[in-house]
Amino acid sequence: MNTATKKWIKLGGALLVAALLMAGSFLAGMVFYAANSSPAQAASLSAALPFLGATGAFTQTAPAGEDGDLPPSLDTFWEAWEYLNKNFYGEIPSNQDRMYGAIRGMVNSFGDQHTAFIDPVRAAIASENIQGSFSGIGATVRMDEAGRLEIVDPMPDSPALKAGLRPGDIVIKVDDQPLDGMNLFEAVLLIRGPTGSTVVLTVFREGELEPFDVSIVRDTIELEVVESELIDAPGGGKIGYVRLTQFSGGAADKVTAAIGDLVKQGATSMIFDLRSNPGGLLSEAVNVSSVFVKPGETIVRERLKGGDERVFEAKRNFQAAVEMPLVVLINQGSASASEIVAGAIQDLSRGTIMGKQSFGKGSVQLPHTLSDGSELRVTIAEWLTPNGRQIHGEGISPDVEAEMSFEDLQQQRDPQREAAVEFLNKTTQEEKSE
């Protein structure tokens, strides 16, 4: 087994997907937007709530609307609040718990799993994760159409894979706590915890008669942002291999440097591996794309509320591999910024996309901290490929499909990378014979 494959399997470079998704930073890959947001897009998302008395009774109205009155729906809300307060037989939840429950219900009514409310405790954890402290189980997750937490991609050598989680598994409980009514961020933050601690997931799997428990020991994720290797092709040529695990600050500079070193060593074609890369900074997605395409080419379109669009073009000073044959590897864990790059390469006919259908995360979230430390993450835009194709909910379809089974992961095989080597070797041989 070659060095890069061993590193990929041992470190689970894509394990960051879980460290981010399970630790709340993309989370299934969430792309940070602040670096490219306009003042109008960054406008405050906060809304004042009515004040509550010590008994939970309504004491002051929320700010009046244009007509000076509360919307009828809020009158009904407070009517229900008062009635529950007076008549509920049992322990009444705290004012804060009820307020948070009301906000969650309002946010959930928008029908977007990426627009979410996060309470102060979980928001603080998410903030720590963004700063680089990661601990999780090592799996890409998402909410399916029924609102259930689905395992998309257990990463190589990850705690999730070792425990037996598979793509398509549905998590219905975490440590015996049902996930009903939780948003994506709350569910994944419930799964994360200190390295070495154990979390028990109750899982439903198609083909099994009953749900079953899976115990997983959480682990700290440490990985290199860029990994590279020179591959000796069967036909005598040399193929460069570069893997990018996240679109963090400086990612394009690292990719450019890695490709430059490989070219000096004789690489004449390139494999760019974005498998299980959950995304990151929009600015780095544009810069990384610029490594492979000419300056001025359209990389991504951003469609804002109201239908307005912004176009992001390839920048100068990054072009390290504009001409050489290129294969970009993607899989179901390639999300967000990864899909921006793959979509641009595909639409511009710059290279061949190989692997499996990508995740389909093409919406833009703007985080906003509320006055008590809780957080709203609100979808404010979506990304389209240069040709206007939708990424969100669709993903990027590979030009050439290449399989990687659960058994391949267990046996530490990488048939997708082997297929890319074979494809480039054949392409190079055909060019030589012309």
Close Cβ partners of 373 (under 8 Å, ≥ 6 residues apart): 120, 123, 124
- CA dist 398 → 283, 353, 402 (Å): 24, 5, 9
Are 393 and 404 spatial neighbours (Cβ–Cβ below 8 Å)?
A: no
Q: How far is Cα 197 from Cα 174, in angstroms, rounded to an integer? A: 13
Q: Which residues are catalytic?
A: 336, 347, 361
E strand intervals along 120-276: 135-136, 139-143, 149-154, 170-174, 177-178, 198-204, 212-217, 219-220, 226-232, 238-244, 269-273
Instruction: Check the CA dihedral 155-157-159-160 and report its sign.
Output: positive
What separation, in Å, do the N-terminal and C-terminal C-alpha atoms of the chain show?
A: 33
Q: How far is Cα 333 from Cα 338, in angstroms, rounded to an integer? A: 9
**Residue 313, H or E segment:** strand 309-313
